[in-house]
Amino acid sequence: MPNKKGACQKSYIKCSSSGIATLPTVIMLGVMSLVVAVGITAVSLTESFVSQGNIQSNKALFYAESGTRDALIRIARNKGYTCATTDCYTVDFSTNGCSLGNDCAKMSVTGNDTAKTVTAKGIMKSSTRTLQVVVALGTDGDITSTTWSEVTN
């Protein structure tokens, strides 16, 4: 015998259709929350990798600049200094830096008594930045001017 609300009812069983959409709604909200969480995590990881790459690139540039300054000091102390082979000397910024392939600078110095070119390659893990500095020397051997530029690979 139906009750007032249209649901069937016996003495020990109550039939009702209220709440039937609750379970699918809860499942959909859970799936949507999971999708949002995965999306935020993916964006965060991507930003983290980009940031790490930027940091490594900046360190490689710093190492190249430091290597260039070291070569300029060598030229200032000895006007005839050259080392024409590629990567003829290195400066390690950590223990065994160049042998491990990170935290180092590799330099070469070419030229004559009036002008020299310093090429310095800074290496930080997978990032490499290369600077080239052209140095003009005066008649008394003093460094009169320098032109700095980054060499793209």
Does pTM top 0.95 for this prediction? no
Q: Does residue 53 fall inside a structural domain?
A: yes
* pLDDT tens figures, 34-45: 999 999 999 999
Q: Does residue 74 fall inside a structural domain?
A: yes
Q: Considering its fold, how many domains does the chain have in total?
A: 1
Q: Does residue 77 fall inside a structural domain?
A: yes
Q: Does residue 16 fall inside a structural domain?
A: no
* pLDDT tens figures, 75-87: 988 888 898 788 8
How many CB atoms sit inside 10 A of residue 65's CB? 18
State the pLDDT at residue 144.
85
Q: What is the DSSP string of 2-54?
A: B-TTS-BB-SS-B---TTTTHHHHHHHHHHHHHHHHHHHHHHHHHHHHHHHHH
Q: Does residue 5 fall inside a structural domain?
A: no
How much of the chain is in helix, strand and coil states, percent to nearest 5?
40, 30, 30
